[in-house]
Amino acid sequence: MGKKKFSRRKFIARTLAGSGGLFVGLSLTGYIARNPIRRQINKFVDEGESPYQGDISDPMLWFEVTADNKLTLFSPKVEMGQGSFTSLAQIAADELELDMSFIKVAHAQSGTGNLDQFATGGSTTIRGLWQPLRVLSATLREMLKAEAARKLDVPVSSLKMEDGKITDGSRSLTLGEVVEGVEEWVVPEAPAVKDVTEYTRVGKPVPRVDLNDKVFGAPIFGMDAEMPGMLYGAIVRSTRVGARFMGADTSKAEGMPGVVKVVLEQDFVAVVAASYTQAIDAKRKIEPKWEVDRSWTTGDIEEMITVGKGQPYVIQKNGSPAEILNADGVYTAEYRSPIGAHAQIEPHVAVAHVKGDQADVKMSTQVVRITRDQVANRLGIDKENVNIVPAFLGGGFGGRLETPIATYAAVISKAVGRPVKCFYERQEEFQNDTFRPPTHNVLKAKLTDNGSIAAMEHNVSSGAVAWGSPMLPGFLETVLGADLGAWRGGMIQYGAIPDFQAISWKVNLPFATSWWRSLGLLANTFAVESFMDELAEQAGKDPVQFRLEHIQDNKAGQRLKGVIQAVTERSGYRDKSTNGVAMGFAASTDAATPVAMVAQVSMDGSEIRVEKVTCAMDPGLSVNPDQVKAQVEGCIIMGISGAVYERMYIEDGQLRPVIYGPYEMARMKHAPKEIDVILLQGDENPGAVGEPPLGPVGAAIANAVYRLTGERRREMPLSQALA
């Protein structure tokens, strides 16, 4: 990525009357909205470049000088655990030459107009804001210095930032003193940003800026939000797949203790009460009427999710693999993954207050702008009159890329004329999630006489990930056809194979499926990288060497080879089991970040035990190596959870299980006691971090289990208890 210049036209500075503060902002839109949308989406998927679409008048990054002589950076991206607030503070501090204690990062409220046009997701926050934030911070520094020079009547060149002040060595001004009384700011042409080697915080494992709040129990989450005079709303949700709301008998709920009102709308019914438990007790007395066309089963879904059914789209093609793979001697294997739940611990939550044509909503969401627009549309008010106040998220994982609870809470608040807090019960979270879709993967390959891959084909059938999401314009599905989320990880990364293709089969399921951290990556890589081990065995070759032979010699290929070599060296990878422990290898590239992993696995009876995971990743520059490692550790454990334990099924028309425990997830005892993370830097800029390490987890474990037991497990979850 080359250096991108920002012009003054895209830089906005304004002094707010009465506040004494300088707000300075930068519009990212000119920077990234030049490309046609399709090219952007393709770049997003193939090269990992972040897509943003926006309009030139809406700035996306803002600084404010606060009364305590510090700076607040308003982030259009939300903090959901990924550590981005810390990285943003590091970047800003280095360019501004300020200690990090002078910089606070806060969520931007939608009412300020500081809006992300996309979402927080797709591992885009740091790679997308890296260059814009450097430029913004450097420009702000120069603006502050220029004003200080004017006030002190000294040349700018004599000034430097020191201890949060601007000084010429003898006299100094606080940030507040610099901005005081300025009516109009002169915005200079964007100065050159510092070289990364000049940075003292970027690249260092500084502690998270939200650490104390999270360790001492500060009320920072959406669930902790309150408003004066607030009531509690409990929304009745369906328990059956495909159910349509047809009304409700609310008579028994209306006289229950604490009940203020029952709100019956076309599409939902809710009860409002003085306390949460009163609202829940009354909700149990509501008799909703649902209409269902049929009682779905897991078998129905698996039949739909079968390669050969649905709509096929060729997403990758090189040469003529079909002809070669129609001959004899073709090796075929098929794999499946189940429906997965987000299962984030904080339920969906919103506290809304509608007053006339104004709405305030405090909540946890990954899609601030879309949620604002939804609330405005439902209430029939201007978007600018809806202020979404994002809180820290008690987990995102893609589960909050649709947050209609804000709309429900707003409608309920309007009906009672008071603030209302709404959140879902756990059973409702499990039964009404936007699930990770189930998949069916069929792989075929033919080997040459010397054990190289002559041709390979990957067919993946999946429910929707991207299509149907309010995040993307509807025409994209028409333009692209194949679901860009479902194919994530589905393309064949072994470009040295002469003939290959990947085909994505689109299936419409009767329940909502959507973005689950890393999208199709976990399941698709499970299939492809299990298959590569199977093929290596067919070829009589070492699984790692076999892969290396088929990687192209371009930049992406070199980075992939780099992580593979690093992880095999560090882990001492061996293609055999020793003392009841076997190693399994897998690698994947997601959003241009390559990851290679070695899992050391043992069996405790029929239980899979992942003892140690060694992982090498090349995300480019790691702004905060400690938090990049934390993301890798988290992905490994979430990957173990998803690949080995988790499974939703459908019985009697209901999605089940409906609670943790029966929905089996990785716990402390399932987490590896050793995780060794190696970070490489094959690019000067930061790349995707939060999702790519999920890719290899399932296949690395399955490959180790095969080595231990001789049994090739081709279905997630890998644990036998559920088989």
- The residues binding other proteins (CB under 8 A) are 80-83, 207-208, 210-221, 223-224, 257, 275-277, 342-347, 392-397, 423, 425-426, 626-627, 630, 633-638, 641, 659-661, 665-673, 675
To the nearest whole angstrom, how small is the minimum distance from the Cβ of residue 78 to other proteins?
11
Reply yes or no: is the peptide bond before residue 657 cis, omega within 30 of 0: yes
Whose Cβ is closer to other proteins: residue 484's or residue 697's?
Answer: 697
Tokens of 589: 């590239």
> What is the closest distance, in whole angstroms, from the C-beta atom of residue 278 to other proteins in the complex?
8
- Minimum distance between the CB of residue 347 and other proteins, rounded to whole angstroms? 7
How many Å separate Cα 29 from the centre of its chain? 21
- Rg value, the chain, Cα: 27
CB of residue 402 to other proteins, shortest distance in Å: 18
C-alpha distances in angstroms, 209 versus 299, 410, 520, 529, 606?
48, 32, 32, 37, 42
Min dist CB 57 to other proteins, Å, is: 33
User: In whole angstroms, what separates CA 24 from the centre of its chain?
Assistant: 28
| Whether the Cβ atoms of residue 530 and residue 704 lie closer than 8 Å to each other | no
Provide, rounded to whole angstroms, the least separation between the CB of residue 387 and other proteins: 22
CA 63 to the chain's CA centroid: 25
Q: For other proteins, which is the closer residue by CB, 143 or 260?
A: 260
**Residue ranges of E strands in 145-225:** 160-162, 165-167, 172-174
Dist CA 437 CA 684 (whole Å)? 35
Nearest 5°: CA angle at 180, between 176 and 183?
A: 140
Pick left, alpha or beta for residue 489 (phi over 0 → left; psi -120 to 50 → alpha; otherwise beta).
left
Q: Which is nearer to other proteins, 275 or 554 (CB)?
A: 275
Nearer Cβ to other proteins, position 496 or 675?
675
Nearer CB in complex with other proteins: 67/215: 215
Closest to other proteins by CB, 40 or 403 = 403
Shortest CA distance to 102 belongs to which of 73, 61, 126? Answer: 73
Question: Which residue type is seen at 171?
Answer: R
Q: Specify the 3-state DSSP secondary structure of 533.
A: helix
Q: Which residue has the tokens 């830097």?
A: 681
Q: Which whole-number Å values give the CA distances from 413 to 77, 321, 357, 360, in the listed order? A: 27, 59, 12, 10
In angstroms, what is the minimal distance from the CB of 409 to other proteins?
Answer: 16
| Residue nearer to other proteins on the CB measure, 342 or 414 | 342
344 or 439: whose CB is closer to other proteins? 344
**Nearest CB to other proteins, comparing residues 289 and 667:** 667
In the complex with other proteins, which residue's Cβ is closer, 84 or 501? 84
Helix (H, G, I), strand (E, B) or coil at 608: strand
Smallest separation (angstroms) from other proteins to the CB of 601: 16
The total of other beta-carbon atoms located within 10 Å of residue 106's CB is: 14
- 105, containing H or E segment: strand 103-107
CB of 697 to other proteins, least distance (A): 11
Least separation in angstroms between residue 585's CB and other proteins is 20
Q: How far apart are CA 28 and CA 116, in angstroms?
A: 10
Show the tokens assigned to 317.
């093609």
Neighbouring residues of 261: CB distance < 8 A, sequence distance ≥ 6 = 271, 272, 415, 416
Task: Check if the beta carbon of residue 414 is closer than 8 Å to that of residue 375.
Answer: no
Question: Toward other proteins, which CB reaches closer, 277 or 545?
Answer: 277
CB of 502 to other proteins, least distance (A): 29
Q: How far is the CB of 584 from other proteins (least distance, A)?
A: 19
And the tokens for 707? Answer: 């080595």
Q: Which helix (H) or strand (E) holds 290?
A: strand 287-291
Asked if residues 413 and 388 have their Cβ atoms less than 8 Å apart, the reply is no
- Closer of 160 and 667 to other proteins (Cβ): 667
